[in-house]
Amino acid sequence: MPRTKGSKNCPKTTHTDYASQIAEKQESIVSLTAEIASITANIDTMKADLKEKKTALKKAEKEVASLEVKKEKADAKAAEEAKKAEAESVVKRLLASGMSADEILEKLK
């Protein structure tokens, strides 16, 4: 005689309490909806914070760039003044040694 397929040990479901299962699922839906709402609110606040931080970063970068330009100008001006002072000291030394103004101009060229 051939054997029948499938397990014979399965319990037969005669009556299932659908109302309690529906209530459990509805409770999980409500809790998940609340979690999603709180996460969405957190994301919105973080987006606003991110936007503020980005604008602050851009402002700071612009300030740094302008300060770097000012520093370069000041350095160039200081170098020019140092060259001018050095040239004046050379001219004074040459005048003190007895050279004429024409000879000094030729040496500077």
* pLDDT tens figures, 48-61: 999 999 999 999 99
* Counted domains in the chain: 1
- Provide DSSP, the chain: -PPPSS-S-PPP-----HHHHHHHHHHHHHHHHHHHHHHHHHHHHHHHHHHHHHHHHHHHHHHHHHHHHHHHHHHHHHHHHHHHHHHHHHHHHHHHHT--HHHHHHHH-
Is residue 2 a part of any domain in this protein? no
Domain of 91, in residue numbers: 18-108
- Tally of CB atoms within 10 A around 94: 16
Q: Per-residue pLDDT tens for 12-48?
A: 665 678 888 899 999 999 999 999 999 999 999 999 9
Full-model pTM: 0.53
* d(C-alpha 78, C-alpha 55), whole Å: 35
Is residue 85 a part of any domain in this protein? yes
In the predicted structure, residue 89 carries a pLDDT above the cut 90: no
Is residue 90 a part of any domain in this protein? yes
Is residue 10 a part of any domain in this protein? no
Is residue 11 a part of any domain in this protein? no
Is residue 12 a part of any domain in this protein? no
